[in-house]
Amino acid sequence: MGFDIPEPFVWDESFKVFYEKIDGEHKNLFKAVFGCAKEPGSASALTNLVEVTANHFENEEGMMTAKNYAGYPPHKKAHDEFLGKIKGLKAPLDDATLNFAKDWLVNHIKGTDFKYKGAL
């Protein structure tokens, strides 16, 4: 998919959606994926990723529904699919899985989250 994956995998200002809470959560998501990449065999890094992701999606979805955001249904579906996938993972994570998670996060923020900028 389209957008460059940062290396090392760290949030930068090009990912800003300009909602402080969400930008903070996105930073933590990058950290959680980074943690999995650093220790692919760590079950707790994977558990943390699932928790941080679930928490972020819940908050982001709450902000969208509070504003009756029109793009909510497909956005929610994308969240559910990703969360379902990572919930089904078991450590150790292989490179393909780690790259999938990095690629998904980068492209979801820039391709999908960016659409709600200014609308929430």
For residue 32, the minimal CB distance to Fe ion (Å) is 13
Nearer to Fe ion (CB atom), residue 38 or residue 117: 117
58 is in an annotated binding site: no
CA–CA dist 3, 72 (Å, integer): 22
Nearer to Fe ion (CB atom), residue 60 or residue 86: 60
Beta-carbon contacts of 113 under 8 Å, excluding residues fewer than 6 positions away, are 17, 22, 26, 60
- Interacting residue ranges for Fe ion, rule: CB under 5 A: 60, 113
Task: Please say whether the beta carbons of 34 and 9 come within 8 A.
Answer: yes
> Could you tell me how many residues make up the chain?
120
Residue least distant from Fe ion (Cβ)? 113
Nearer to Fe ion (CB atom), residue 46 or residue 105: 105
Annotated binding site for Fe cation: 26, 56, 60, 75, 79, 108, 113
